[in-house]
Amino acid sequence: MIDTINIEEIVKILPHRYPILLVDRITSLELNKSVEGYKNITINEQVFLGHFPAKPIYPGVMIIEGMAQTGGILAYKSAFGEDSTNENKLVYFMSIDRAKFRSMVTPGDKLVYKLEVLKHKGKVWVLDGKAFVDDKLVAEAELKAMLGD
């Protein structure tokens, strides 16, 4: 069980950078089973310049991408080990199924991602992802990812 992965280690695992790095911290990770992480949503997010200037709402596609990045960290650490930060390996997002958006996410929210492994066979991972604000479910989806070079 890994308790915390900070942003310095996250950027060693994920290839994403500002403005598309959408997970700030991993708060728990159980290899091959589950992961929890979060992103603090601030008015300074670049996306709010256009979505929407008069009523800032964090886009659902960004919530899904944040879930995928969090799940990617779970797959990466599970496949390559707790201490790994191998820059030669990537996790590729393959599909989104059963996505539902239940509530708006706005500046000031702490968006918590919780993912559990549904299936894992070879390099392919299927994850059940949920996103919460203040323990309220705001989005969910089934995500599929693949490990690669």
Q: Which residues are catalytic?
A: 51
Phi, psi angle pair for 64, to nearest 5° = -60, -45
Residues 90-124 as b/e (b if ≥16 CB within 10 A, e otherwise) read bbebeebeebebeeebeeebebbbbbebeebeeee
Closest CA to 144 of 129, 127, 130, 131: 127
Cα–Cα distance measured from residue 134 to residue 111, given in angstroms and rounded to the nearest whole number: 8
- Bridge-based pairing state of the strands 136-148 and 34-40: unpaired
